[in-house]
Each structure stands twice: as structure tokens, then as C-alpha cells.
Amino acid sequence: MKEHLLLVEGKDEKVLLTYLIASRELQGIVEVDNADGNKSFPDGLRRVEKQSSFQSHRSITVVRDAEDSATAAFESALGVHEATKLPVPDLPNERSASPPPVQICIIPENRPQGCVENLFLEPLHACLDALRNCWAPNQLNPARWAKTHTAIILRAIPGDYASELGHAIQKAEFNNLLDMEPLLELTRILHRIQAESNA
């Protein structure tokens, strides 16, 4: 049986979590694949299922951005049932009882809106207050605000920086953020998966 499968929305999340797994020496525990972004998530799940049978994995964890609505993101992620024909959990961060168990994680956890970029930006809030005030509060929702400001920060730094968070977080200047809240949220998800291997 294959190891645990971690499904994320896009290439940036895949790069970020693959790096996090390697830097935490969790190699071999999790196979990461992306489901082609939030707009084609069901189609992406079907593509992954064709390439790597879900039934052959020890567990399946789906990680999605809350975006405009954490509730809507969770309901969309329940589409994993269509691709896997497996029971899905009733709530985020819970596991279904089916073998293999399925877990759906919506990030940021316990918030109505947002995305992985919010986890990156929160330790930098003091630096962003002036920039944030350039827009009226109702012009950008939390997820769009975070994506826009992350892109501005990455493009403003001298040197060879990609605009994607997954690549930038591997740079020395940002690497320490992985050990800070709220980016530790991603590590906790991985540790929950790892705990199943040791059970």
C-alpha cells in the first residue's frame, strides 16, 4: 500500500508543502499532488485518481484555501467523494472512518475567509499597515488582500525571487517563518498525517 496522499489546490501549495515535508524530515510519509486550483477542483481530483488510485493509499488529506468562504470551500472539497467513492468527514480536520480515511483541512483553520498567503503575512503585519491603508477595507476580501500583498512583497525584494510563495519560503530570509504561528498550522497538518504512520 502507498503512503499517505496529500492533495492541494495548486502548484504553489504543492511546492510549499513538499519543501515543508523535506525540511521536517518527513520524506516518504506523504505523496503530494495538486488538483489544478480551486475553480477546477473536482476535475483535478478525477485526474489524480486516474494517475494514482486513491484506494491504494493509507490515508487521503485534502488541503484547501478558505478563499471567500470556508464553508463553501469545505463543501466543494467534499467533491472528493465523487472521485474516490469513499465516505467523507462531516467537519473539517476530522477523518472519515473508511479505509483509507479521508480528512479535509481548510486553511486558515477556524476562520471564515482566507488562504495560505494569510499564514505567510500575519507575522509581517506591522510592516504592512501603511500598505493595507492604501485600499478601503471593503475593496479586497481577506484572501484577495493576502494574495495581492504577498505578490507585492516578493516582487519588492532585491534578488532572484519568484512571485510564488512556495518558492520564496525556501529562501533564507523567510525560512524562519515556517517555525512561527500561523504557518505552523501547516506543520500540524503534516504531523497529524505522520501520527497515522506511527499508530
Are 185 and 174 found together in one domain?
no
pLDDT at 179: 82
pLDDT digits (tens, 9 = 90+) for 81-137: 776 777 889 999 999 987 888 899 999 998 999 988 888 887 776 666 666 666 555
CB 93 within 8 A of CB 59: no
pLDDT at 103: 92
Are 19 and 79 found together in one domain?
yes
Regions of the chain with pLDDT less than 50: none
* DSSP letters spanning 137-186: TTTS-HHHHHHHHHHHHHHHSSSS--SSHHHHTTSHHHHGGGGSTTTHHH
Q: Is the pTM of this model over 0.85?
A: no
Are 190 and 166 found together in one domain?
no
Are 101 and 142 found together in one domain?
no
pLDDT at 76: 85
CB 158 within 8 A of CB 169: no
pLDDT at 141: 62
Are 107 and 155 found together in one domain?
no
CATH number for 187? 3.40.50
Are 141 and 59 found together in one domain?
no
Are 43 and 73 found together in one domain?
yes
The DSSP code for 29 is T
Are 38 and 126 found together in one domain?
no
**Residue range(s) defining the domain that contains residue 149:** 117-178
Domain count, the chain: 2
Q: What is the C-alpha to C-alpha distance for residues 67 and 184, in angstroms, rounded to an integer?
A: 19
Are 142 and 103 found together in one domain?
no
Are 74 and 128 found together in one domain?
no
pLDDT at 138: 52
Q: What is the C-alpha to C-alpha distance for residues 97 and 114, in angstroms, rounded to an integer?
A: 28
Are 108 and 73 found together in one domain?
yes
Are 132 and 153 found together in one domain?
yes
